[in-house]
Amino acid sequence: MAQPMSGSKLLEVLRAEGLTVHEVRDWRHHNRNTKGPWGPVNGVMIHHTVTSGTENSVNICYNGYSGLPGPLCHGVIDKEGHVHLVGNGRANHAGLGDSDVLRAVVDETTLPHDNQADVDGNRHFYGFECVNLGDGKDPWPEAQKEAIEKVSAAICRHHGWSERSVIGHKEWQPGKQDPRGFTMDGMRGRIAARLAAGGGGTNQGPKPGPKPKYAPFPGSGFFHVGRKSPLITAMGRRLVAEGCDHYAKGPGPEWTEADRTSYAAWQHKLGFRGKDADGIPGRASWDRLKVPSDG
């Protein structure tokens, strides 16, 4: 369970993953929030458009069509592997799906077969439409599949999710067959490898060689009340060194309000504002803090 990312944060994590991202018209304010809730978010859903052509597909996903108003997803992934952001908030992509599947996604356990449509998916999933005719013949270029992998990994890493939080529309809603042309198990394997590698710029799996000097970003979901880790002490020491010190008794291993306010000061120092300076670490600010990996 997690609060949805702001538009700025989503853009940031996608670009940090090495993706080319295009912002379409007024996507930051384009949503279906007046029709129902958005969040808490639990996962990422992958679709195919049953359309061809980037511009045509992006327009349809932004506008929707009679009977199904847009946005029809959050981002469109074209055949070159570029991401076009068309919505920020609730989007018409998932419809009603299987509550047992939602439970499995939340628990990150094995997916059951989807055999009922009893829960609102538009509330709980980020949605990405991939340009493909869905006829089983239209090819899926490697650049496009790599972009699906990167988008999914970026969002999972931010929220502290595993690859099990990524599903296909066909795994959610009875009667759906998208995406067609690759297997979701195969895609989840790629996402897992990218997450294990620490993300950003490679899908070759963990790199050999010396241990990285700085601790990789563990995902925003890592930082919550009740979390205890030497990493939080190490982070606190770095915040103090940067002059972002709201600790009464100095940093400790347990995540507290003092950690949050100190981290918010660090985000402010870097120029982040509003929801992007809420004191919950994000990848960009974390990487610049350079927390030693050995504590």
Residues at the site binding Zn ion, with contacts judged by CB under 5 A: 47, 169, 178
Residue 179, preceding peptide bond in cis (omega within 30° of 0): yes
Torsion angle (degrees, nearest 10) of CA 152, 154, 158, 162: 40
| Nearer Cβ to Zn ion (47/159) | 47
Taking Cα atoms as reference points, which of 71, 44, 40 lies closest to residue 150? 44
| Nearer Cβ to Zn ion (70/219) | 70
Strand partners, 254: 228
| Nearer Cβ to Zn ion (171/178) | 178
Smallest separation (angstroms) from Zn ion to the CB of 132: 11
| Nearer Cβ to Zn ion (96/193) | 96
Smallest separation (angstroms) from Zn ion to the CB of 66: 18
Smallest separation (angstroms) from Zn ion to the CB of 139: 19
Q: Is 280 helix (H, G, I), strand (E, B) or coil?
A: coil
Category of 211 on φ-ψ map: left (φ > 0), alpha (ψ -120 to 50) or beta: beta
Alpha-carbon distance of 218 to 101, in angstroms, equals 26
| Nearer Cβ to Zn ion (96/197) | 96
Alpha-carbon distance of 22 to 119, in angstroms, equals 31
| Nearer Cβ to Zn ion (47/260) | 47
Alpha-carbon distance of 111 to 98, in angstroms, equals 10
Smallest separation (angstroms) from Zn ion to the CB of 160: 26
Smallest separation (angstroms) from Zn ion to the CB of 169: 3
**40 and 124 Cβ atoms separated by less than 8 Å:** yes
Smallest separation (angstroms) from Zn ion to the CB of 153: 20
